[in-house]
Amino acid sequence: MLTVKRRDFLKAMIISTSLLVLGRPLVYEYQHSQSALTPFGSWYVVQIAGTPEVLVNNYILTVDGEVKNPMTFTYEDLINLPSVEVKDTIQCVSDPFFLKANVVWTGIPLKEIIDMVKPSPDVIKVVGFGAEGYTADIPIYKAMEPDVIIAYMADGRPLPQVHGYPARLAVPGWWGYTYVKWLVRLYFTSKNVLGYWESEGYPDVAKK
């Protein structure tokens, strides 16, 4: 089934070709290597509140907590870091059959950021904050996996606003609630902090 518009398909081809020429990104494939991408228009939306408008010119990602080098990143900083592509299925824990989408993410491995900020050896978790106050926690061992990324593109295009523009987490293999949209802060902690859904009793190790 051809679900990607021809123009977008060509654009994706051009982008992936040029990325290959420039930097040979790692491409991780998950679950749906045989199936088509979900068109933007039919990608599900799940969120605790309205869609915040995050202005890209004011956007700052703060990385702090129990780290040696707290840092901040602008959108430009992020898109200039080495990126990878990850083919993934994002899926809500409440999925009856349609709350999932096949997406190719482009973004920066969280591990790269972790290497820069140098968390204390006691750190067990990183907590992601959305611009509207949403949180999700990820154990540090999961955050270190090379395909866990700060995504700023979906299918070769900037993230749609409702899907987390300008940047969100993508945590392949884990439930959608770990994929914090409108990501504005990453907080490293030695405490057993629980995020929004984790504190409601959803699995803290959110493996699908």
The contact set with ligand MTE (CB under 6 A) reads: 43-48, 90, 92, 130, 132, 134, 163, 176-177, 179-182
Q: Report the nearest approach of ligand MTE to the CB of residue 72 (Å).
A: 19
Nearer to ligand MTE, 75 or 179 (CB): 179
**Residue 163 CB, nearest distance to ligand MTE (Å)?**
4
Give the shortest CB-159-to-ligand MTE separation in angstroms: 8
**CB of residue 160 to Mo ion, shortest distance in Å:** 17
Burial code of 46-55, b = ≥16 C-beta within 10 A, e = fewer?
Answer: eeeeebbebe
Out of Mo ion, ligand MTE, none, which partner does residue 188 contact, by CB within 5 to 8 A per kind?
none
Determine contact, residues 93/197, Cβ cutoff 8 Å. Answer: yes
Dihedral sign, Cα of residue 147, residue 148, residue 153, residue 154: positive
List the single partner that 190 binds among Mo ion, ligand MTE, none, CB under 5 to 8 Å by kind.
Answer: none
In the complex, the smallest distance separating the C-beta of residue 17 from ligand MTE, rounded to whole angstroms, is 27
CB neighbours (10 Å) of residue 163? 22
Smaller CB separation from ligand MTE, 36 or 48: 48
- d(Cα 73, Cα 81) in Å, to the nearest integer? 10
Residue 24: CB partners within 8 Å, gap ≥ 6? none
Comparison of 16 and 89: residue with beta carbon closer to Mo ion: 89
Which of 45, 56 has the CB closer to ligand MTE? 45
| Longest CA pairwise span in the chain (Å) | 50
Which does residue 65 bind out of ligand MTE, Mo ion, none, counting CB within 5 to 8 angstroms by kind? none
Q: Give the whole-angstrom CA distance, residue 126 versus residue 192.
A: 10
Question: Looking at beta carbons only, is 4 or 116 nearer to ligand MTE?
Answer: 4
83 vs 135 by CB, closer to Mo ion: 135
Q: Which of 55, 157, 32 is nearest to 105 (CA)?
A: 157
* Calpha distance 174→135 (Å, rounded): 15
- Please report how close the Cβ of residue 44 comes to ligand MTE at its closest, in angstroms: 5
Which residues here bind Mo ion, judged by CB under 5 A?
46, 92, 176-177
The pair of three-digit structure tokens given for residue 161, joined into one six-digit string: 């606003």
Q: Name the residue number minimizing CB distance to ligand MTE.
A: 130
Beta bridge partner(s), residue 104:
87
